[in-house]
Chain A
Amino acid sequence: MASSIRVRAILNGDTAEVQTLIQHPMDTGLVKDAKGELIPAHYIQQLTFTHKDKTVFLADWGTAVSKDPYVKFAFKGAAKGDELKVSWVDNKGATDSLTATIQ
């Protein structure tokens, strides 16, 4: 299975522009399936972006975020070739991470 995370980090002057797409069902726990049974809540609780051991972006998410979330942000202080680590953990304890190189 390929990674659930797609990242693109592009340096623009002194600012790195980061875009991320994460594959995740983000079930709210309020939706019923075809049989009428509730689909249990299953959502990302925390999403972290780390650059040089420093957390540059931290999101505490709940059920209000849509399926396959897309995140875009920018931060200063990065250089070309630096590594940016992305990781998420969901309410079932599942987790995934990926390290991208800033271009």
Chain B
Amino acid sequence: MTALRLALGLTVALGLGVSAVAAADKPDPVADAKAFQAFFVKKFPKVAFDDFVNGPYSMNEDMRRQWEEKEQFPPYEFALEAGKEMFSKPFKNGKTYADCFPNGGIGIRQTYPAFDATEGKVITLELALNRCREANGEQPYSYVKDEMASLTAYMAYTSRGKRFDIKIPDDPRALQAYENGKEYFYTRRGQLNFSCASCHVQSPGERIRAEILAPALGILNAMPIYRSEWSGMGTISRRFVTCNSQTRAVPLEPQSDEYRNLEYYLSYVSNGLPVSGPGARP
């Protein structure tokens, strides 16, 4: 693991706060993303760069064939249709989701999560959608599935093929959020003592029980996903929560600071990869 960290040019945080990291280790997201992407490209020379967004299907020929067959009748189709309907349906006050987003919310998935300078925190698409609802006098949706997954599915669908374009503004708070997300990603936790990276950086393409692990590179580009295991849709929040509980760690609240920062980090290092969501996974 240490060798891997060094290969990725990471700082080994020995239980110290990030504040204790010396100035020489000033966060450098641009170099991080470059190293991160180079690592996967080198590890999987046969996988086309844009194919990483297809997760396990880019790693395993058999699964890929099944998936291509399945894509003729994508299992997320029902959610997508519902999302399209919900997105255009006005709130009680006559406004719509389109009023909350640039470009009417169409084709903008690749710009989320974004750092909000007035609040000094990372705003994810799921959070922005619920804030939009609350601003218009509606009840927020659960972050985990159903409506939220349908809405984000539709927004991702309208952005398919657009390349991730996550920005880290020149703001120490944005850099800190990114750094915290990175720290969360590489920190081991839970009864199995796994970090996110244990599976999705060290072992993509390997089997974990009957599943094939997806590479961390491009893993959020396919969100939200229909998982056969869930027999339903799930959002990014749901994926984080289940990842934590599967490694026998205590999941956090959806859209907590850590999860939003994690999403910020993971999305940033996948910059340049196309949106492929909504996706289907076993």
Contacts and interface: CB of A to CB of B under 8 A. Distances in A.
Interface string B55-85: 0000000000000000011010110010000
Contacts of B77: 6, 21
B231 interface: yes
Contacts, number: 17
Contacts of A6: 73, 77
A68 B77 CA distance: 11
A103 interface: no
A64 interface: no
A18 B37 CA distance: 42
Interface in B254-280: none
A57 interface: no
Interface string A13-48: 000000101010000000000000000000000000
B73 A66 contact: no
A68 B81 contact: no
A85 interface: no
A70 B73 contact: yes
Contacts of A21: 73, 75, 77
Nearest to B84: A2
A67 B231 contact: yes
Chain B residues touching A, range = under 10
A51 interface: no
A8 B231 contact: no
A2 B150 CA distance: 15
A68 B72 contact: no
B16 to A, nearest CB: 41
Interface string A63-77: 000111010000000
B73 A8 contact: yes
B72 A8 contact: yes
Contacts of A68: 75, 78, 231
Contacts of A19: 72-73
A70 B77 CA distance: 13
B231 A66 contact: yes
A100 B72 CA distance: 16
Contacts of A67: 231
A70 B78 CA distance: 13
Interface in A39-98: 66-68, 70
Nearest to A7: B73
B142 to A, nearest CB: 12
Contact of B78 (A8, A23, A66): A23
Interface string B223-240: 000000001000000000
Interface of B: 72-73, 75, 77-78, 81, 231
17 contacts: A2-B81, A6-B73, A6-B77, A8-B72, A8-B73, A19-B72, A19-B73, A21-B73, A21-B75, A21-B77, A23-B78, A66-B231, A67-B231, A68-B75, A68-B78, A68-B231, A70-B73
